[in-house]
A = this chain, B = another copy of it.
Amino acid sequence: MTKITGLTVHDVRFPTAAAGDGSDAINRGDYSATYVELHTAEGVTGTGLTFTNGRGNELTCAAVEALRHHVVGHDVDRLCTAEGARTLTADVQLRWLGPEKGVIHMAAGAVLNAVWDLRARVAGLPMWRLLSELPTAELVAAVDFRHITDALTPAEAAELLDRGLDGYEERRKGVEETGFPSYTTSVGWLGYPDEKVRALTRQAVKDGWTAVKMKVGGPIDDDVRRAGIIRAEIGPDALLMMDANQVWDVDEAIANMARLAAFEPHWIEEPTHADDVLGHARIQQSLGDRCRVATGEVAANKVIFKQLLQAGAIGVMQIDACRVSGVGEVLAELLMAAKFGVPVCPHAGGVGLCEYVQHLSFFDHLRLGSPLEGRMVEYVDHLHEHFTDPVTVVGGRYRLPERPGYSVELRPEAIATYSFPAGPAWRA
């Protein structure tokens, strides 16, 4: 039993907007973290964060404060169960602010991820290993099945988790040797001119990348031209993914993808509004086998993911580590994807998202037995230097993290420098 004795939240923002990094059809942000530290009498600190785009990071920080009384004074193991997590996600007054979406849900994600980080640190295990080696009953107890039993029952989850124990050691040895497949998004932000896109793509190929993602959703002729540049640089065999960041209407997405399909995209990501399950289903139907529809980075909760799977709306499911209410809800999403046979390729980038999601993909492969084929973790080469345990990506593949926890601990000097608005990076 580990009791949480205190909570600190930091508003940390990196001034990335000016450089055009991370710019796409909808967003142009100062990559930011609502950064949570949970304290214990034993001296172990748990850290979690949720990612935001700059303005408004004070809101997720304030939402963490509103959740404080549900964690301070409470037990870590209890908060790692569905009942414990539900004290945050189904608070009889706070639930109205979602329900289970937006600012309040993202804050729950930062807090509950910090709780799980604390658990992993106490156990002395990296998150992927803690999760992969937990008894089936404890994993099932961590999942809140409310509102998803029509897609996944506790018994079905247990069966998937038990079955996944077969071959665990071999798979672990495999990824220790070869890592986990990845792709890079650093080549084609909308804010970059053509020549920068060409140079970055050429460099990515030299660095061993065989899968790259470009942003689309600008004027369609520009998208077509940029797709041509990137496809020419990577050659016919590498994977090219496209990401529209929700800018299109449904029929517009169908029309534009009819043109962009010429460049043989592996997937089209966020072709329309993130809440539009039926719209995604229509777009997937129009593309057939030519291209997968992918979404999920801002899918509000497990109920949206459930429907995307039930409707056959996606060929690739993109989870995010901290948009939803932390590890427990992500487990629900991974289990549903496994049941429906849809590969999971997590969203990363931003601040700390690569550090987080690598653990989830390793769990998906190691404990759920999902094959590596068709699975990749996004990689963006920004801001890793601020973490105490940054990701290691070699030749386009993530290596297994070894240090205990969930890997999103910021260096103290990063917190000090980039704290908003008082840090030196913002006083200038």
Interface residue ranges, A against B (CB under 8 Å): 17, 26-30, 52-56, 58-60, 62-63, 66, 90-106, 146-150, 246, 249-252, 272-279, 282, 298, 300-301, 303-304, 306-307, 310-311
Contact = CB atoms under 8 A, between A and B. Distances in A.
B92 A28 contact: yes
Given A27-B96, A56-B93, 18 more contacts: A27-B93, A28-B92, A29-B92, A55-B66, A55-B93, A56-B63, A56-B94, A59-B62, A59-B97, A98-B102, A100-B273, A101-B102, A147-B250, A149-B249, A275-B307, A276-B307, A278-B311, A279-B303
Contact of A298 (B30, B99, B148, B307): B99
Contacts of A147: 246, 249-250, 272-273, 276, 279
A282 B310 CA distance: 12
Nearest to A91: B55
A362 B303 CA distance: 34
Nearest to A149: B249
A289 to B, nearest CB: 23
Contacts of A250: 147, 149-150
Leading 9 A-B pairs by shortest Cβ distance? A102-B102, A103-B103, A55-B93, A53-B96, A150-B250, A147-B273, A54-B93, A28-B92, A53-B93
B66 A56 contact: yes
Contacts of A104: 56, 59, 102-103
A30 B277 contact: no
A371 to B, nearest CB: 28
A246 B99 contact: yes
B304 A60 contact: no
Contacts of A29: 92-93, 96
B99 A274 contact: yes
B62 A62 contact: yes
Nearest to A273: B147
A278 B149 CA distance: 13
Nearest to A253: B150
Nearest to A54: B93
A103 B147 CA distance: 22
A183 to B, nearest CB: 22
A90 B26 contact: yes
A43 to B, nearest CB: 31
A92 B26 contact: yes
A275 B147 CA distance: 10
A218 to B, nearest CB: 14
A93 B420 CA distance: 15
A100 to B, nearest CB: 8
A92 to B, nearest CB: 4
A234 B343 CA distance: 54
A380 to B, nearest CB: 15
Question: Which of A97, A105, A149, A301 has the most chain B CB atoms inside 10 A of its CB?
Answer: A97
Nearest to A147: B273
B300 A101 contact: yes
A26 B102 CA distance: 18
A306 B17 CA distance: 33
A103 B249 contact: no
A372 to B, nearest CB: 31
B92 A149 contact: no
A307 B59 contact: no
A303 B273 contact: yes
A94 B150 contact: no
Contacts of A27: 92-93, 95-96
